């Protein structure tokens, strides 16, 4: 099931929405037959899904668009999103509730991104990449 609750249209902001999202997930998981629930800001494979970010290799001298090694889509997900989507991680760890705005930034990347930016999937674990955003990410 896919639901778009439109929290911002209901008066929630970036600070108050996470608590409501947690309550929504907890409530949905109490429904008989529901095995898990998760949130994503843009469902994969939809038009305009996510927000593109410029990612730069260690060799890039300037963080300008022409030097970007990749432009992946950035999706915000809840900790149980992968379980709800029945998607297994190849390596690394799942996100937790502690991976919030106050924690060091983390990311889950796909195999193509890992190979393109770090040379292989195994090289991506616990690496830091430079992004054309306000924060760097630990993959």
User: Domain limits at 107?
Assistant: 41-139
Q: Work out whether strand 73-74 and strand 51-52 pair parallel, antiparallel, or are unpaired.
A: antiparallel
- Residue 80 maps to a domain: yes
For the chain, give the mean pLDDT. Answer: 82
- Residue 68 maps to a domain: yes
Short-list 114, 98, 103, 106, CA closest to 76: 106
- Residue 119 maps to a domain: yes
- pLDDT at residue 134, rounded to an integer: 44
Sorting pLDDT into bands at 50, 70 and 90, what band is 137?
very low
Short-list 82, 74, 84, 80, CA closest to 105: 74
User: What is the number of domains present in the chain?
Assistant: 1
For the segment 69-127, what is each residue's pLDDT rounded down to a tens digit? 888 888 888 888 999 989 998 888 888 888 887 888 888 888 988 888 888 888 888 88
Sorting pLDDT into bands at 50, 70 and 90, what band is 26?
very high
Confirm if 104 and 138 have CB atoms less than 8 A apart.
yes
The three-state secondary structure class of 105 is: coil
Q: Could you give the angle at the alpha carbon of 99 between the alpha carbons of 41 and 43, nearest 5°?
A: 15
- Residue 2 maps to a domain: no
- Residue 13 maps to a domain: no
Q: What is the CA radius of gyration of the chain?
A: 16
Confirm if 77 and 71 have CB atoms less than 8 A apart.
no
- Residue 96 maps to a domain: yes
Backbone angle region of 69, left / alpha / beta, with phi > 0 → left and psi within -120 to 50 → alpha? alpha
- Residue 120 maps to a domain: yes
- Residue 85 maps to a domain: yes
Q: Provide the 10 A C-beta neighbour count for residue 6.
A: 8
Distance CA 136, CA 130 (A): 5
């Amino acid at each position: 099931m896919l639901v778009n609750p439109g929290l911002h249209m209901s008066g929630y902001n970036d600070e108050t929405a996470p608590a409501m999202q947690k309550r929504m997930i907890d409530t949905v998981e109490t429904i008989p037959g529901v095995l898990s629930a998760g949130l994503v800001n843009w469902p994969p494979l939809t038009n305009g899904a996510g927000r593109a970010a410029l990612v730069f290799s260690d060799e890039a001298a300037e963080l300008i668009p022409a030097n970007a090694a990749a432009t992946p889509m950035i999706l915000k997900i809840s900790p149980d999103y992968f379980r709800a989507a029945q998607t297994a991680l190849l390596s690394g760890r799942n996100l937790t509730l502690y991976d919030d705005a106050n924690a060091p930034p983390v990311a889950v990347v796909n195999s193509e991104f890992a190979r393109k930016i770090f040379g292989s999937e195994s090289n991506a674990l616990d690496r830091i990449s430079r992004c054309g955003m306000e924060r760097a990410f630990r993959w």
